[in-house]
Structure 1
Amino acid sequence: MDEFKSCNLDYFPENILIDVLSYLSVRELVRAGRVCKKWKRLVKDQRLWRTVDLTAWKGVTSRILWVLLRQYLGCGLRCLRLRGLLLSARGGTFLSESWLRALSTKCPRLSKLYLLHADLRGLPNCQILPLSLRVLELRGCELPCGFFSQSLPNSPAHPHDRAEATSSVGAPQQGRGQKGKGSVSPLGICIERLVLNNVPSFRDQHLQSLTSWEKLSHLELRDTFRVTANGLRSCAAKDGVSGVEGLSRLKFLEIGITGRQGYQLQMASLGLGAGWLGLEELSLGGKEVGPGLLCASRLKDLKRLCLWTCTLSELQIVRSCRMLRGLRQLEFLDVIFQPRQSPPVDDEEGGGGEEQDGVEGAGAGPDSYEENRTLDDPFPSLRRSLAVLLPSCTLAFTNCSVQMNTD
């Protein structure tokens, strides 16, 4: 018993101590580093700084960011999450060009950056961000007009800054630049996934700038109220004079509006009617589901379709999916289904119970629908209809429900 009483943390291997420290937040890690010299050395271990989340630390300022970058952040950083001062009473500049340049120099392996409530209007464009980024997620941020535009290889815009950043990062970044010299310019943006959630300042001009991103394959637009159908149509991947133009490398596109009621007539997803070459996955949510389904039949390469947070009728789904013969997965997330032959649905669709689109219509009324429902299969009528139209398609229902008529 006396041996156990005298036991302290010095008896544990450093690997175990690092695992214990990994459960602490960034603020707690900094405080733990002030205990003793040994803990200070352990806290600076790069295994603890691979994923850094500063969104829960509300008191973060630009001064604290500089301290973290100089003393703790390093080559081990892979993912960084920051909360800006856009909604803070203090206000002020949060991200500066000098800090971002130092970040790209000190952390050459940073691949994912998440910014929450950040005011980016003080930055010239996104080329000031680390060149190693592959994923950029913006939520509730403010953007300047030309934020997503990139300079040409021979453009004089910030040549000294780029040369300094490239030379000071070291061998890993220089090798990456030489490797991609044949396909991607040294000044090219290598971001593959861009997520925009509740960014009101994002508009058609920003979307048009994304056509110059040679690596972009995943684009999510949630509550981007100023994107119009014409803007989406002009950026669609289509055959042009010099080959495929627009967002030619895009494989996944998400459009959804679930917020403000005043923007319900925007219907940006109508731009999908231009056809989108190479688009394999489409996600529609909220008020964009209805117009998006009207144009989904023009997407010949579509393999996966996800519909979320909306109210749909069975007849609407069947009519829209009739032309999607190449569909392999159809997913419904938080969807409220209206049974076929429901009076409000018939009036809304413009066709009564006479037209069934060549799909099985018997037993689809509200009474028989309720009788056929089971715990294992709550949507029997919809499954049977889609099984006839899309025999190779897999259906997935998550948190879905059926709206029955009270009459």
Structure 2
Amino acid sequence: MSDNSYRYAPETAVVRAFVDPELATQAISPSMVMSVNHCFDPQQGAFSAQGLEDLSEAPYLYAGWSNPTVDQLEQRLAHLEGAEACLATATGMAAISGLFLSLLKHGDHLIISDVCYAGVYEFATQVLPDYGVEVTAVDTSDITQVLNALQKNTKLVHIETPSNPLLTLTDIRSLANGLKTSGTLLSVDATFSTPVITKPLSFGADIVVHSLTKFINGHGDVLGGAILGSRSLLNQIRSRAGVYLGATLSAQSAWLIMRGMETLYPRMKTLCSSAHEIANWLEKQPRVLRVLYPGLASHHQFALAQQQMALFGGIIAFQVDDIDLIQQRFAQESHVFYYAFSIGHQRSLAVAMKTDELDQSTYHFTAEKRAAFRSFAGDGVIRLSIGLEATEDLLRELEHLLR
């Protein structure tokens, strides 16, 4: 890659950075290196990474350690996010578990959001305590609650912004500033926002996590995850999660993710515009009780969204007067929205997320937290992941389903 590419606009850099024609063939599309094994010179001490400042500089030996195609993805993601280094993983949960198990040990304390992706919450609250890690879940949209929960042994605060599924925000800059004196690290799951909308490192976060399965790949056909941050932190995480936890991303998956991420900016601009129009329309519908979308003036953190988000995202959550009926209609009558979990695909998805079911399966709310959740979600929300279909087709379908 030429030095000029570092001065490209993000829309250009995501397509051009770290992509050069192949020397032997002058092919423009990146090649896929499928080999599991690589020859090496034993005189160069390839069996040991001791002395390397960055483990990604170690010679290629075995694909479980590193792979040229995966390395290229990591370089491109780091450039896109404004990070020094990146570790790509087999799934988004592999990124989360690799992060937690690399940075936390017996006797440490973790703070997480009390409303976040179910797999993250369950891993943190049900698995980590078995290894002696203390976990506290708080409303991270309230910085005071986070700071009040700090302990001498708090090593990491992990947040989602926007959160899943309530689309609440955390003021990243304020929280990062509040954590400075404690020495506590701040990691941000920015899967919902992507680097197009928010770059957490620029607001003071130490670590960014993505499920590459979602918007960054954008086509619903491959799993992947990523952890990004400083070289020193990523070297620590890579030496554990990248070697011992078996979270290796395959070359095929890395190649597919790179192909998908090249259209990230136009995809996000299109679906965010559509989502904004749909969210405004939903607020006017008689069966809709409340719309949760950061781009609406009715969102209680709209001012923060304007400061922290370049766009307002492709995810909408909304309450309805009869969630069972509307869930049934989405599942049985929809032709444009697929009734399915996950987000960030080129096709629009919808799923009902019922409060009682989330409580019983994942969150196990206290009475106070159940009341706080219900104040946003009521009996539950319909979560929409807006795709690339024409907005008028999505609105026509919603009008039918919400009749």
Q: What TM-score bracket applies, with the shorter chain setting the length?
A: under 0.3
Greater relative contact order (CA < 8 Å, ≥ 6 in sequence): 2
The structure in which a higher percent of residues are helix is 2
Which protein shows a greater Rg?
Answer: 1
TM-score of the two chains, using structure 2 as the length reference:
0.24
